[in-house]
Amino acid sequence: MACPTHVIQSWNGNYFDKVPLRKLGMRYQVGHLAGEVCLHLQLAFHNHFTIIDTNGIHDIALDFCSCMQKHLFAMQLQGAWLFPATDIQPCTTVMTTALEQFQMLTFMGKISAYEYYHSLVCLTDNTGITAPSDNFDTFICVVCEWSFICLLKRAGIGNNCGRWKVAKPGSCAMECLTFPHPGINILESVDLDSPNAWEDTLYIGMDANFCLKRFNVLSEEKDPGLSKGLTYFVDTKTFHKHLADFDKQIIQPPSLCSNHEAVKGDKRGFIRTRDLAASGLKIPKKVYLIPKFHLPGHIKDCQEKYCMSFHIHIGENDGEAPECSWAISNDQHFGDFNWHKNVLQGDTLLCKIKDAMPKASDHEDRFKHFSALLPQSDVVKWTKMVEDWEVDRSKPNPFS
């Protein structure tokens, strides 16, 4: 009685035939604990109920509880790990296990909802003779709503229906654990004049040419988003208002760089120290650099001024982080992408340290050996040129 989606097969004399539990007279009861008998049963709407589970799509006989002061039908279903498609006369649900399985498959295997749902159809009947009714649109709606509720839950505002409406933009996004958080992983007061202040620098990669062509196919009316700026994408209405207010005021002349007539700022990465104004600190400076992969497409002057390899405290940072997530451009996938970055921080950093330490030692030995072969007066002069340029970029570039 606790497994309404189990598949029973019986021998009909020639082969094993699937027999729905409904035909065997089983009725699934919600609203009470297992073993309890409800004295005020209410049949599901039209006595027809569908459950989408990991092993297929099932039509079952289900009874709600209509005892006094009992929960709504939708809440009774959720108590049985069934997520209803609607809270008004629900007749289609998706098992929570199926929702969790689909979410993980689409994160790791990039499987679409269409592929997953029709895989369940084939599991139900791979011949197509007794295929289940089409509930694909219903499945899509349930996935969107369930994912949004899980998002609110993980952000700590899932238990209050009103809190998410006043939540700040981006408040449900997965934050980076190594992001400089005053009072958490860095001191409340940071000495920005310290030689080690660069350790608290915030590195941000920006892609101003994020077109999202597929987004133009849909509309807010046809496919409204639920998060509305709470995670990684800004609210559509707010964004359109921003464009309407500023689009005509900002005139971007074609850039003099690259062979394509790109507008200024079309593609660049930058690093800057984190905005600590809330802690009474000031931003000392911003440093704009061009991602390494895009640097060869720029003119020589840009390559010399904005090369990441010429800047101190950059290491192996390439500035191409936005390019790593083109194929997963939606809030759910961005969240999973950030989550795995967080949980793998230890292994990632350890791997980088093991790779960097011997290379750093080797490069230092080669540099000292090469410098020893040059006139010491030239070495002192060139070293001073580099150090002066690193402090003040208006001085002659020693790498040009």
Q: What residues are paired with 254 via a beta bridge?
A: 263
Are residues 326 and 348 part of one domain?
no
Range of the domain at 380: 344-400
Are residues 325 and 177 part of one domain?
yes
Q: Please tell me the chain's helix, strand, coil percentages from 3-state DSSP, rounded to the nearest 5.
A: 40, 15, 45
Contact 328, 106 (CB under 8 A): no
* Among candidate residues 28, 15, 17, the one with its CA nearest the CA of residue 7: 17
| Structural domains of the chain, count | 3
Are residues 186 and 137 part of one domain?
no
Residue 378's pLDDT is 94
Are residues 388 and 250 part of one domain?
no
Residue 51's pLDDT is 95
- pTM metric for this prediction: 0.79
How many Å apart are CA 47 and CA 36, to the nearest integer? 21
Are residues 147 and 28 part of one domain?
yes
Residue 384 falls within a domain, yes or no? yes
Are residues 291 and 241 part of one domain?
yes
Residue 160 falls within a domain, yes or no? no
Residue where a domain stops, chosen among 154, 181, 196:
154
Are residues 90 and 23 part of one domain?
yes
How many Å apart are CA 223 and CA 174, to the nearest integer? 24
Are residues 379 and 303 part of one domain?
no
Contact 140, 121 (CB under 8 A): no
Residue where a domain stops, chosen among 330, 357, 383:
330
Are residues 194 and 150 part of one domain?
no
Are residues 205 and 137 part of one domain?
no
Residue 43 falls within a domain, yes or no? yes
Residue 164 falls within a domain, yes or no? no
Residue 324's pLDDT is 75
Per-residue CA distances from 290 to 58, 100, 294 (Å): 55, 40, 7
Residue 239 falls within a domain, yes or no? yes
Walking along the chain (400 residues) 10 residues at a time, the average pLDDT comes out as: 82 88 87 83 88 94 81 87 91 96 94 95 91 93 94 84 80 87 80 75 70 61 81 84 73 56 41 34 62 84 83 80 74 90 92 92 95 94 91 84
**pLDDT digits over 374-396, tens only?**
999 999 999 999 999 888 888 88
Are residues 348 and 257 part of one domain?
no
Are residues 181 and 322 part of one domain?
yes
Secondary structure, 3-state, 279-306: HCCCCCCEEEEECCCCHHHCCHHHHHHC
Residue 338 falls within a domain, yes or no? no
How many Å apart are CA 65 and CA 76, to the nearest integer? 8
Residue where a domain stops, chosen among 124, 154, 184:
154
Taking the alpha carbons of 344, 164, 116, 218 in that order, is the dihedral positive or negative?
negative
Residue 213 falls within a domain, yes or no? yes
